[in-house]
Amino acid sequence: MFDLKGKHALIFGVASEESIAWAIAKKLHAAGAIISLGYQQRFKSRILQLVKGGDVPVELYERCDVTSEDELTNFFGQIERPVDILVHSIAYANPETFGQRISQVGQEDFATALVTSSYSLIPLARHAAPKMSPSASIMAMTYLGGQRVVANYKLMGIAKAALDATVRELASDVGPQGVRVNAISAGPIRTLAASQIEGFDNMLKVYEQVAPMRRCISQDDVGDLAIFLGSDMSKNITGQVLFVDSGYSTLAMAELPKD
Ligand code: NAD
Give the total number of structural domains in the chain: 1
Nearest atom in ligand 1 to the alpha carbon of residue 163 is: 32
Q: Rounded to an integer, what distance in angstroms lies between the CA atom of residue 67 and that of residue 69?
A: 6
Strands (E) located in 27-146:
34-39, 58-63, 83-88, 132-142
Instruction: List residues bridging with 16 in a β-sheet.
Output: none
The CATH number of residue 110's host domain is 3.40.50.720
Q: Is the CB of 67 under 6 A from ligand 1?
A: yes
In a domain, 19, yes or no: yes
Instruction: List residues bridging with 95 in a β-sheet.
Output: none
Would you call 153 a catalytic residue per the annotation?
Answer: yes
Neighbours of 82 (CB within 10 A): 14
Q: Is the CB of 146 under 6 A from ligand 1?
A: no
Give whole-number Cα distances, 54 to 24, 48, 124, in Å.
15, 10, 27
Half-sphere exposure of residue 52: CA atoms within 13 angstroms, side-chain side:
6
In a domain, 66, yes or no: yes
* pLDDT mean by block of 10 residues, the chain; 259 residues: 93 98 98 98 98 96 98 98 98 94 98 98 98 97 98 96 99 98 98 94 96 98 98 98 98 85
Supply the pLDDT for residue 33: 98
Contacting residues for 53 by C-beta, under 8 A, at least 6 apart: none
Phi, psi of 244 (to 5 degrees): -125, 90
Supply the pLDDT for residue 255: 84
**Nearest C-alpha neighbor of 158 from the set 94, 92, 114, 123:** 114
In a domain, 1, yes or no: no
Q: Is the CB of 143 under 6 A from ligand 1?
A: yes
3-state SS of the chain: helix, strand, coil percent to 5?
A: 45, 15, 35
**Ligand 1 center–CA 89 separation, angstroms:** 5
Supply the pLDDT for residue 99: 87
Contacting residues for 49 by C-beta, under 8 A, at least 6 apart: none
In a domain, 253, yes or no: no
Q: Rounded to an integer, what distance in angstroms lies between the CA atom of residue 216 and that of residue 86?
A: 26
> What is the pTM for the complete model shown?
0.98
Whose alpha carbon is nearest atom 17 of ligand 1?
65
In a domain, 259, yes or no: no
Structural domain range at position 241 = 8-245
In a domain, 139, yes or no: yes
In a domain, 154, yes or no: yes
Pocket test for ligand 1, best of 12, 20, 164 (most atoms within 8 A of CB): 20
In a domain, 195, yes or no: yes
